[in-house]
Amino acid sequence: MSAIRIGNASGFYGDRLSAVREILTGGPLDVLTGDYLAELTMLILGRDRMKDPKLGYAKTFLRQMEENLGLAVERKVKIVANAGGLNPAGLAGALRELAAKLGLDVTVAHVEGDDLIGRAEELGFGEPLTANAYLGAFGIAECLKAGADVVVTGRVTDASVIVGPAAAHFGWGPTDYDQLAGAVAAGHVIECGAQATGGNYSFFAEHDIRYPGFPIAEIHADGSSVITKHEGTGGAVTVGTVTAQLLYEISGARYPGPDVTARFDTIELSQEDTDRVRISGVRGEAPPPDLKVSLNTLGGFRNEMVFVLTGLDIDAKAELVKQQLTFKKTPAEVRWTLARTDHQDAAVEEEASAFLRCAVKDADPKVVGRAFSNAAVEIALASYPGFHVTAPPGDASPYGLFKPGYVDAKLVEQVAVVDGKRIVIPPSPETRVLAPAEEPDLPEPLTGPTRRAPLGFVAGARSGDKGGDANVGVWVRTDEAWRWLVHALTVAEFKRLLPEAEDLPVHRHVFSTLKAVNFVVEGLLGDGVAAQARFDPQAKAVGEWLRARHMDIPEVLL
């Protein structure tokens, strides 16, 4: 059976609107997919649903379909997206109305069952704003097999929008673990859009990524795939860009999902041709018995002021502000951060300046609202020389808290809804408790003279968030560099390079076939991105910070 060609046109809610048309018109395609749901997005959609129960889905997807649904029908391209968010049935209904308005004969189906908010207390999750289990691919597959042209879902795993069409196309069953695992790997690569084609890539200067195209996975019956993009589009697909994305927001060698646990330590990559990278050898195992659940709550309210400190005596100026800023009522949390971005003898004023941030949180918006920001500004003429702030006084804004939960998969009913018919998708017939993978054999260390230099001279990195944890994947491009990296970049060295992680639990995972190590830093991001606990709350740039740090690197690699 021929390969199925699946292109992904959205990596998050807010991605390039024109990508749907670009990927539909750029070349041949069987299925167009879109990933719209991040942890933060579920909170945003939860707040939308609070205002209007008819909402709760990604509104931009509906706008994209208004412009492109006719084009997809004309080109016989199926559409699968998780844009349904908290209300997949509502989005499906809106799509049917849109199709009727456009005069299009399409079958719209949806997958539901992930939303556990009505059972949250019963399941031990308390009273969250949103509670959604991560469903798998077989609801999507069932919709497609029943003749759906468009399938929208709620919270499925990001890769499931790619795995589902492949499973339907090839007739895979729930125990075809190697095939499913291969599709999960392909899905993980393309679900973040242009991150697979050179976006957010450490070695970006090697390619023209001013306007990268969106990625395509050509998936074969055995689960192997080729990652590519439409000819003539910008960016690049290389072993490096694919490696970077494979390491994105994972943990250990066993990558668990609701349908399969994919062994990422078995992945083999090869550059087949220009902008064509083959993924093969992926092994799969039975999934764990529990489904992960995304839990979002409203944590309270926050505000911040950023004081600009310029020139000499930066530490003394910062201390003066801390002493002078007083509160009528002290917020529940007050966090001061001094970023020493100043340079000595700077020729530009901004380069002579540091930034002192005061972030406050409280359950009462009045405590951290105008009363706080006005108090910060009131000291302007009575404080350090050169006093100014980066923004005028502002009001408090709500913030959210994310945490993962877990529920027995047998307690969650996944349902495919096609033409009014409800098809219940049974959970996986087999499960396997998740356990750490065995440590691989390591190559002989690389020895010889060394020179102090940035890690990024020889290694790439990609980082991101999983709730309150940060993930940092680091890889190299030659066997010789791997002999050095795997022995040199230990947990102790990682903590030395990134002092923010020094007192936190850090776990290292080795991926020999990718010449990579992945670090999971527990608690670096507090209660997750919506809580905005730190600068760079999604840890997007932690990897680049790590690459800028200096190590003793063998001269032969430099």
- Mean local confidence (pLDDT), 17-38: 97
3-state DSSP call for residue 126? coil
Q: Give a yes or no: residue 430 inside a domain.
A: no
- Give CA–CA dist 49/264, Å, rounded: 37
Same domain, 102 and 208: yes
Nearest-angstrom CA–CA distance, 119 and 127: 10
- Residue 397 and residue 520 share a domain: no
Count Cα neighbours of 535 within 13 Å in the Cβ-side half-sphere: 13
Instruction: Note the pLDDT of residue 340.
Output: 96
Is residue 62 domain-shared with residue 206, that is, in the same domain?
Answer: yes
Q: Which residues make Cβ contacts (< 8 Å) with residue 238, sequence separation at least 6?
A: 207, 271, 275, 277
- Same domain for 203 and 141: yes
How many CA atoms does the CB half-sphere of 394 hold within 13 Å? 15
Are residues 378 and 493 part of one domain? no
Residue 352 domain-assigned? yes
Count of Cβ atoms closer than 10 Å to residue 186 Cβ = 30
Cβ-Cβ contacts under 8 Å for 288 (sequence gap 6 or more): 256, 261, 431, 432, 433, 434
Give the pTM: 0.95
How high does pLDDT run on average in the chain? 96
Query: Do 494 and 368 share a structural domain?
Result: no
Verify that 395 and 459 share a domain, yes or no.
Answer: no
Q: What is the pLDDT of residues 288-307, one digit of tens each?
A: 999 999 999 999 999 999 99
The reply to whether 217 falls in a domain is yes
pLDDT at 487: 98
Token code pair at residue 558? 């430099």
Q: Is the same domain home to 247 and 343?
A: no
Residue 374 has pLDDT above 90, yes or no: yes
3-state secondary structure 224-257: CEEEEECCCCECCCCHHHHHHHHCCCCCCCEECC
> Residue 40 — very low, low, confident or very high, per pLDDT cuts 50/70/90?
confident
Q: Which helix (H) or strand (E) holds 167?
A: helix 160-170
The per-residue pLDDT for 362 is 96
Q: List the structure tokens of 323.
A: 């002493």
Q: Smallest Cα–Cα separation from 311: which of 340, 289, 275?
A: 340
Task: Enter the tokens of residue 264.
Answer: 């990422």
Based on its alpha-carbon atoms, the radius of gyration of the chain, rounded to whole angstroms, reads: 25
Q: Which phi and psi (to 5°) does residue 473 adopt?
A: -95, 135
Determine the average pLDDT of the residues in 357-382. Answer: 95
pLDDT exceeds 80 at position 533:
no
Q: Is residue 420 part of a domain?
A: no
Residue 329: phi, psi to the nearest 5?
A: -135, 125
Residue position matching structure tokens 């009273």: 127
Of the candidates 211, 209, 218, 167, the residue with the CA atom closest to the CA atom of residue 189: 218
Can you give the pLDDT at residue 427? Answer: 96
Domain count of the chain?
A: 3
For residues 543, 549, 552, 555, the Cα torsion angle rounded to the nearest 10 degrees is: 80
For the stretch 76-130, pLDDT in tens is 999 999 999 999 999 999 999 999 999 999 999 999 999 999 999 999 999 999 9
Q: Are 260 and 361 members of one domain?
A: no
Which pair of tokens denotes residue 55?
């909402």
Query: How far is the C-alpha of 114 from the C-alpha of 413, rounded, in Å?
Result: 8
pLDDT of residue 534: 84
Sheet of 283-285, strands arranged across: 254-255, 261-263, 283-285
* Average pLDDT of span 171-177: 98
379-400 core/surface letters (b: 16 or more CB in 10 A; e: else) = beeebbeebebeeebeebeebb
Last residue of a domain, one of 378, 401, 424: 401
The residues, any chain, with a CB within 8 Å of residue 134's CB and separated by 6 or more, are 114, 155, 156, 157, 257, 258, 291, 292, 293, 294
Q: What is the pLDDT of residue 207?
A: 95
In a domain, 443, yes or no: no
Q: What is the pLDDT of residue 530?
A: 79
The answer to whether residue 128 is domain-embedded is yes
DSSP structure class, residue 312:
S
The pLDDT value recorded for residue 188 is 98
Query: With bands split at pLDDT 50, 70 and 90, how would you rate the model's confidence at 511?
Result: very high
Asked if 519 and 464 touch (Cβ cutoff 8 Å), the reply is no
CATH number at residue 319: 3.30.70
Q: Which two tokens stand for residue 32?
A: 């167009």
Integer Cα distance of 113 and 425 in angstroms = 10
Q: What is the pLDDT of residue 39?
A: 84
Q: What is the pLDDT of residue 479?
A: 97
Q: How far apart are CA 540 and CA 25, in angstroms?
A: 31
Q: Which domain holds residue 521?
A: 450-557
Whether 283 and 317 share a structural domain: no
Percent of the chain with pLDDT over 70: 100
Report the distance separating Cα 473 and Cα 532, nearest Å.
22
pLDDT digits (tens, 9 = 90+) for 433-442: 999 999 899 9
* Confidence band of 59 (pLDDT split at 50, 70, 90): very high
* Per-residue model confidence (pLDDT) at position 130: 96
Q: What is the pLDDT of residues 228-281, one digit of tens each?
A: 999 999 999 999 999 999 999 999 999 999 999 999 999 999 999 999 999 999
Average pLDDT over residues 198-208: 96
- CA distances for 99 relative to 62, 145, 416, angstroms: 11, 21, 20
Query: Quick check: is 194 in a domain?
Result: yes
Predicted confidence at residue 529, as pLDDT, reads 81
Residue 293 lies in a domain: no
Token pair, residue 241, equals: 């860009």
- Domain stops at, among 401, 420, 435: 401
pLDDT (0 to 100) of residue 63: 96
Residue that is last in its domain, among 401, 428, 458? 401
Question: Do strands 4-8 and 215-219 pair parallel, antiparallel, or not at all (unpaired)?
Answer: antiparallel
Place of tokens 């310029």: 310
Asked if 283 and 304 sit in the same domain, the reply is no
- Whether residue 158 is found in the same domain as residue 120: yes
Query: Rounded distance, CA 5 to CA 378, Å?
Result: 61
Degrees to nearest 5, angle at CA 28 with 22 and 29: 80
